Amino acid sequence: MNPIILILGLPLLGFIINGVLGNKLPKIVVGAIGTAAVLGAFVIAILNWSIISQPENNTINLDLFTFLQIDQLSLKVAFQLDRLSIWMTLIITGIGTLIHLYSISYMKEDEGFYKFFAYLNFFIFNMLLLVLGSNFLMMFFGWEGVGLCSYLLIGFWYKNEDYGKAARKAFIMNRIGDLGLLLGMFLIISQFGSLDYSVVFTQIAAGNTSNSMLTAISLLLFVGATGKSAQIPLFTWLPDAMAGPTPVSALIHAATMVTAGIYLTVRCQVLFALSPLTNEIILWVGLGTAVMAALVGLKQNDIKKVLAYSTVSQLGFMFVALGTGAYTTALFHVTTHAFFKALLFLGAGSVIHGMHHEQDIRHMGGLKSKMPLTHLTFLIGTLAISGFPLLSGFFSKDEILTAVFMHNKVAYALLVGSALLTTIYMFRLYFLTFHGQYRNHHYAFEKVHESPINMTLPLMVLAVLSIVGGALNLPAYLTHSEGFLFNWLKPLFMIPQSIHEIDHSTEYVLIGIAVLIFVTGFLIARNIFVTKATIPAETSTGLGGLLQNKFYVDEFYHKVFVRPLEITSSILHDLFDGLILRAFTFGIFPLLKLIGRLNKKVQNGNLEMYLLYMVIAIVLLLGVNLIFA
């Protein structure tokens, strides 16, 4: 029995069972099925680790059937489990399991309970499709599938129009990216006559492809990545996506789906490694995203919005890493980020749950005492993301910074700034939520309660992971060898990625800077929000206002794209279609009628006139045909 079938099949099965007869089953069973399906996939992936880790034939392949056969080009439904995909699989299913577990009680009251779990399982299935596919088509299937699921889950509470809008926004912005991906695939087809990774990558590695072509393809693929991974310019959907239930935000919009773009790039490493121009673009786009999102994160008051922007910013970090060619590092950060960001979201969820769906941090505070577990884990998450030494985030972020430092000093400076901002807004969030005194007048402090065990358990697990996650790829200066992840991925990369040689002194300086950043950020935040105990104002002005309103990007898009499109639509329909074209097409009838009316003048019933006309006609006939002809 091919493990891939099980890995893919179990979530699908869970989706089908829950989707078809979930409304008949009791909730606990539904939850159990959903969780078990994902857990099963996780276990199977673990079991196959040993096979994959063998140096030779380290991939498991599965060819199901031919999807399309266009004369030479044959598109197969085929999967492969190799070092990269199993890594992703473990992240997805692992965190997925925890979040399923968490959701059982988080969604307890919701009448759409079974629907929720069905969607979650379906999402897991699509995500696995994305990472397990052995050709671009399969990846595209997963790619759009996860988009679909995120649409369904963002708009989960369908009665609310705004949620529906957010869901549509997410799907459509993803579609824009998908178009890029699709066109990239077309280019690949026209260039290599196949979509299979193996074929395409070997041909690229062979190096007989024009550079411009590679750049074009990689750029198009990157457009797809920006859509899915919420980079400039297609990032605005992610903050709105927080409309969905919090576990969804944790799973889809923090841990897994949004990292698909990074997965794509790592998967096509050979392609990107050979197109430097693209790398530069990626670098700067990622950098811009990182800084911009971090800035906006400073001024958000919705607990989930802050985390959302932090996610966007962290994704920016990853793309910066990709831009510098440090693919392992990017994936490493994906992993650690999955840990602590999921942790943070779930913690936030726990807070929201404990405070009965209050999300505004200005109405929180002092929750430390009421929900100790949540508080502790959340603190760990915060430390991890803001790079507290020896926590997972510290290592991954440090590697990124190092890579950028080697690559481009300006970029490095900006990124450091962004890291600083990260620390600040994270601790702002932390302090405002858990410290100070309680500020909510609608919901009594007494009623605030800690979440049940099956919500806190995932928190604890993730907390542990966030602490030790760094071990996955320890830097050379500790182990005097390349990190585990680096070696793990090495056989995958057809073009060995640059190991930035760097003398230890510089390295220690960089580490020092990193630590310094953390401390500064922490102190600033503490100074403002603990010592001064500032409460963010309802509306801030000047720069603050700019940040609070997210640089007015949404408004800008609405003015520049949405509105004109709507106007064009009306104009085309009412004016062009309704008047101009109509006049040109159907105007003939009034014209004919007009001529017909002229005939009334002739056919006026007067005998002499008739006779006269006839005589004239006769004369004409005779004249023209006898004299002139």
Angle at 230 between CA 100 and CA 500, to 5 degrees: 100
Extract the tokens encoding 430: 């932390």
> Which stretch, 160-168, 236-244, 378-386, 458-466, contacts other proteins (CB under 8 A)?
160-168
Q: Do 113 and 30 meet the contact criterion of CB atoms below 8 Å apart?
A: yes
**How far apart are alpha carbons 506 and 508 in whole angstroms?**
5
Among 25, 183, 495, 546, binds other proteins (CB under 8 A): 183
Among 49, 186, 552, 556, binds other proteins (CB under 8 A): 186
Q: Report, in Å, the least distance between residue 19 CB and other proteins.
A: 9
Rule CB under 8 A: is residue 604 a binding residue for other proteins? Answer: yes
> Which stretch, 275-283, 308-316, 473-481, 598-606, contacts other proteins (CB under 8 A)?
598-606
Of the pair 390, 572, the CB lying nearest other proteins is at 572
Rule CB under 8 A: is residue 212 a binding residue for other proteins? Answer: no
Please list the residues that pair with 544 across neighbouring strands. none
Q: Report, in Å, the least distance between residue 114 CB and other proteins.
A: 11
Rule CB under 8 A: is residue 233 a binding residue for other proteins? Answer: no
Rule CB under 8 A: is residue 560 a binding residue for other proteins? Answer: no
**How far apart are alpha carbons 381 and 345 in whole angstroms?**
9
Among 160, 198, 481, 527, binds other proteins (CB under 8 A): 160
Rule CB under 8 A: is residue 132 a binding residue for other proteins? Answer: no
Q: Do 361 and 432 meet the contact criterion of CB atoms below 8 Å apart?
A: yes
Inter-CA distances, 554 with 2, 61, 287, 292, Å: 47, 44, 20, 14
Rule CB under 8 A: is residue 581 a binding residue for other proteins? Answer: yes
Q: Report, in Å, the least distance between residue 33 CB and other proteins.
A: 19
Of 318, 315, 260, 301, nearest to 138 by C-alpha is 260
**How far apart are alpha carbons 544 and 505 in whole angstroms?**
39
Q: Do 151 and 165 meet the contact criterion of CB atoms below 8 Å apart?
A: no
Rule CB under 8 A: is residue 556 a binding residue for other proteins? Answer: no
> Chain-centre distance of CA 334, in angstroms?
12
Among 25, 51, 189, 281, binds other proteins (CB under 8 A): 189
Rule CB under 8 A: is residue 611 a binding residue for other proteins? Answer: yes
Among 2, 46, 83, 141, binds other proteins (CB under 8 A): 141
Among 15, 102, 116, 171, binds other proteins (CB under 8 A): 171
Hey, what amino acid is at 88?
Answer: M
Rule CB under 8 A: is residue 593 a binding residue for other proteins? Answer: yes
Inter-CA distances, 531 with 237, 380, 423, 528, Å: 36, 22, 17, 6
Of the pair 174, 279, the CB lying nearest other proteins is at 174
Among 28, 390, 468, 614, binds other proteins (CB under 8 A): 614
Extract the tokens encoding 51: 């096979």
Q: Report, in Å, the least distance between residue 74 CB and other proteins.
A: 9
Q: Report, in Å, the least distance between residue 80 CB and other proteins.
A: 19
Of the pair 234, 424, the CB lying nearest other proteins is at 234
Q: Report, in Å, the least distance between residue 503 CB and other proteins.
A: 48
By CB under 8 A, the count of residues binding other proteins is 74
Of 382, 360, 356, 380, nearest to 370 by C-alpha is 356
Rule CB under 8 A: is residue 164 a binding residue for other proteins? Answer: yes
Q: Do 1 and 60 meet the contact criterion of CB atoms below 8 Å apart?
A: no
Angle at 376 between CA 370 and CA 378, to 5 degrees: 100
Extract the tokens encoding 308: 């959302």
Among 533, 537, 575, 621, binds other proteins (CB under 8 A): 621
Rule CB under 8 A: is residue 582 a binding residue for other proteins? Answer: yes
> Which stretch, 27-35, 184-192, 260-268, 312-320, contacts other proteins (CB under 8 A)?
184-192
Q: Do 128 and 8 meet the contact criterion of CB atoms below 8 Å apart?
A: yes
Question: Residue 213: in which H helix or E strand, if any?
Answer: helix 211-228
Over the window 391 to 410, marking each residue x when it contacts other proteins by CB under 8 A and - when it does not, the resulting string is --------------------
Hey, what amino acid is at 66?
Answer: T
Of the pair 531, 604, the CB lying nearest other proteins is at 604
Over the window 72 to 111, marking each residue x when it contacts other proteins by CB under 8 A and - when it does not, the resulting string is -x--------------------------------------
Of the pair 453, 624, the CB lying nearest other proteins is at 624
Extract the tokens encoding 219: 């750029």
Of 343, 321, 233, 333, nearest to 272 by C-alpha is 321
Q: Report, in Å, the least distance between residue 293 CB and other proteins.
A: 24
Within 476-505, the residues that bind other proteins by CB under 8 A are none
Extract the tokens encoding 440: 């909510």
**How far apart are alpha carbons 441 and 209 in whole angstroms?**
66
Rule CB under 8 A: is residue 561 a binding residue for other proteins? Answer: no
Over the window 44 to 63, marking each residue x when it contacts other proteins by CB under 8 A and - when it does not, the resulting string is --------------------
Alpha helix positions (H), 435-562: 453-468, 476-479, 484-489, 504-526, 542-548, 553-557
Rule CB under 8 A: is residue 580 a binding residue for other proteins? Answer: no
Among 568, 575, 579, 587, binds other proteins (CB under 8 A): 568
Of the pair 537, 618, the CB lying nearest other proteins is at 618
Rule CB under 8 A: is residue 607 a binding residue for other proteins? Answer: yes
Extract the tokens encoding 47: 């079991």
CB atoms < 10 A from the CB of 130, how many? Answer: 27
> Chain-centre distance of CA 190, in angstroms?
28
Of 82, 49, 77, 46, nearest to 64 by C-alpha is 77
Among 47, 68, 453, 537, binds other proteins (CB under 8 A): 68
DSSP-derived letter for residue 573 is: I
Rule CB under 8 A: is residue 1 a binding residue for other proteins? Answer: no
Of the pair 437, 585, the CB lying nearest other proteins is at 585
Among 28, 53, 66, 516, binds other proteins (CB under 8 A): 66
Q: How many residues does the chain have?
A: 629
